[in-house]
Amino acid sequence: MFARNRHTVQRLGFTAITMMAVFTVIPIVGTIIFILFKGGSAISWEFLSGFPHDGMRAGGILPAIIGTLYLTVGTAVFSVPLGIAAAIYLAEYASDNRLTRLIRLAIINLAGIPSVVYGLFGLGLFVLFLKFGTSILAASLTLSIMTLPVIISTAEESLRSVPQAFRTVSISLGATRWQTIRRIILKEALPGILTGVILGLERAAGETAPILFTGAAFFLPRLPGSPFDATMALPYHLFVISTQVPEMPIQIQYGTALVLLVFVLTMNIIATVIRSRARARRQW
Amino acid sequence: MEKSLTLREFIITRLIQASGYSAILFVALIFFFLLREGLPTLAEVDASSLLSIRWYPIENYFGILPLITGSLIVTLGAALIAVPFGIGTAIYISEIAPRWMREILKPLVELLGGLPSVVLGFLGILVVSPFLRVFLDLPTGLTAFTGSLLLGGIAVPTVVSVAEDALDAVPRSYREGAWALGATHWQTIWRVTLPAARSGVLTAVMLGVGRAIGETMTVMMVTGNAPVMAVKLGSLFSPVRTMTATIAAEMGEVANGSTHYHVLFFIGMVLFLISFIVNIIASSVVFRAKKRAERILS
C-alpha cells in the first residue's frame, strides 16, 4: 500500500516536471517556427539588397544587415584577442590569490550589468569623453566589453579542460611556457574557445540597448563609410519599425525579424556543431 | 637569439597579465562614468523630489519611485514564472531525461538565451499583448504582466543552465546511497539531490532575477510605459514603466549635461548597484557552499 503510494507520487511528480520542461520548450520552438512562417513571404532579393524608402514602409533592409555585420566584426576585433588573453591569464598564469578572486568577481559583475547600463557607459566614455561620436567604433567598443565575460569564461573553461600532461610533456621537451600555450594548449582548446566567441558575438549581434545611444541610426540613405559613422542595425531597425513608424506594413516587420533571427540562429547552430563535433572527436 | 626569445616571452606574458586585469579596470571605469554623470543629480534635484511618486521630466518632476516599483513588479512576476519552470526544466534535463533528450534540450534552452530581446518584444506587441487583452478582458494588452511573461522566458535559460550545473555537480554516490536505502527516484531527487544542490539552485534564481531586472528592450516594448506607482496586485495588469525602459526611451532625447540627463545616469547607477549586490551575494553563496563541500569530502 505504502509502496504503491510512493510510486504514484513519483509518477505524478515526473509528469509535472516533464510538463514544465515541455512548456519551456514549446514556446521556443513555436516562436522560431512562427517567425519563419510569417516572415518567409517578405524575403526577396529586393528586400535583402535594397534600401528602405517611403519612410521605411517599402524597400529593403540592406543598410541594417550590413550595419549588423560591421558591428559584429567590430566587436570581434576588440573582444576576441582581449577575451582570449584574459582567459589564458586566468587558466595558465594566475595563482589563487586575492587579486585573482577580484578579477573573477569583476567578470561575474560584467556579466550581470544590464545592457542599457552598458549603453550609458559607452555614451559617457566613448561617445562623449573620448569624442568618438555616435559611431560604429563607439558601439563596437561598448558591445566588446559586454561580450568579454562570455568569451573569457568559456575560453577559460576550455583551456582548463586540456590535461595537465600536455603541459608537462611540452615543458620537459624544452618549450617555454608561451610556446606551450601557443602551440599545444590553444590548439587543443580551440573548438571550445571558438564556441564561446561565437556565442558572445551572437549576443552582441542581437543587442539593441547598448547601441541605442552609442552608434545606432534611425535611417541612413547610404552605407557607413568609416568606423566614425553611425550605422543602422537589424535589432534597432526592428525596434524602430515595430514601435516608432505608424502604419508600418506587417510584412516588412516580420521579414526583418526573420532576417535577424536567421543571423543569430546561424551563429548559434555553428557554435553548437563545433562543440559537439569537438566533444565527439576528443581522445583524452 | 636566446635573449630575444626571453624578451618576447616577457612582453607576451605582461600583455596577457594586463588583459587578465582589464576586467577589473572595466568594472571600475563603468562605475566611475556612472558616478561622474549621475552624481550631479543629488545637487540638482532634492532628495524629496527624487523620492516622490511623480515622474514627469518635462516639468522637472523626477520622482523615481514609480520606476523602481515598476521594475520590481515586472521582475517579481517574471521570477514567479522563471523560477518554477527553470528549476523544473533543470531537474528534468539533469535527472529524468534520457541522454538523447538531454542532447536536444540543452541546445534548445541555450537558443532561447540567444534570442534577441527585441524579437521577443516584437512578438509581445503583435501576438502576446493582443491575446492577453482579449483573454483577460483588459483595456490594453501592454501591461506589467505581459512584460513578466516575456521576461520570464528571458530569465529561464539562465536559471536552467546554472541550476542544471548545480544538480550535475552533486556526486553520484549521494544518489546511489539514497537508492540503496530504498528511496524511489523521485524521493532521491526531492530529498537528496535538490537539497545537496541547494546553494547552486539559489544562485540560479538570483542570477535569473538579475537578468530580468536588467532587461530593457522587451519591457520597453510591451509594458505600456506609464510611470505610475505599482503597489497593488492589480498593478500587474495595468501599464507600468521600468527603470531600464525609462533610460532607453528618454536618453536619446535629452540634452547632454541637463538635469534630466544626469537623472537618467543616476537611475543607471542604481541599476548597476542592484546588479552588483545580486552578483556578489550569488557568488558568495557558491563560494561558501564550495568550502563546505570541501570540508565534508576531505
Condensed to tens digits (0 to 9), the pLDDT of residues A228-283 reads 998 999 999 999 999 888 888 888 999 999 999 999 999 999 998 998 888 787 76
For position B137, what pLDDT does the model report?
84
Q: Which phi and psi angles does B161 have, rounded to 5°? A: -70, -40
Burial of B41 (0-12, 13-18, 19+ CB in 10 A): buried
* CA distance to A280, B97, B220, per residue, from B79 (Å): 37, 24, 18
Q: What is the pLDDT of residue A253?
A: 92
Question: Looking at the predicted structure, is the pLDDT value of residue B134 above 80?
Answer: yes
Residue B217 — pLDDT band, cuts 50, 70, 90?
Answer: very high
DSSP code of A52? E
- The residue among B111, B246, B266, B280 with the most chain A CBs within 10 A of its CB, best to mutate, is B111
Residue range A45-281, CATH number: 1.10.3720.10
Element at B56 (helix H, strand E):
strand B55-56
pTM: 0.91
Residue B290 has pLDDT above 80, yes or no: no
Q: Looking at the predicted complex, does its ipTM rise above 0.95?
A: no
**A24 contacts in chain B (CB < 8 Å):** 85-86, 88-89, 109, 112, 156, 160
For chain A, the domains span 2-42, 45-281
Q: Are B153 and B112 in contact (CB under 8 A)?
A: yes
For chain B positions 64-83, those within 8 Å of chain A (CB to CB) are: none
Residues (pLDDT < 50) of chain A are 1
pLDDT band at B1; cut points 50, 70, 90: very low
The distance of B223 to chain A (nearest Cα, Å) reads: 13
CA atoms within 13 A on the CB side of B134: 4
Let me know: does A205 contact A68? Beta carbons within 8 Å.
yes
CATH architecture under which domain B41-297 falls: Orthogonal Bundle (1.10)
Helix (H/G/I), strand (E/B), else coil: A231: strand
- Torsion of the alpha carbons at B269, A108, B210 and A199, rounded to the nearest 10: 110
Report the alpha-carbon distance of residue A246 to residue B140 in Å, rounded.
Answer: 18
Instruction: Measure the CA–CA gap between A259 and A40, rounded to whole angstroms.
Output: 9
Tally A–B CB contacts below 8 A.
264
pLDDT at A222: 82
pLDDT value, residue B75: 94
Q: What is d(CA A256, CA A47) in angstroms, rounded to the nearest whole number?
A: 9
Using the beta-carbon criterion (under 8 Å), do B118 and A235 form an inter-chain contact? yes
Position of cell 520597453? Answer: B220
Contacts of A85 in chain B (CB under 8 A): 15-16, 19-20
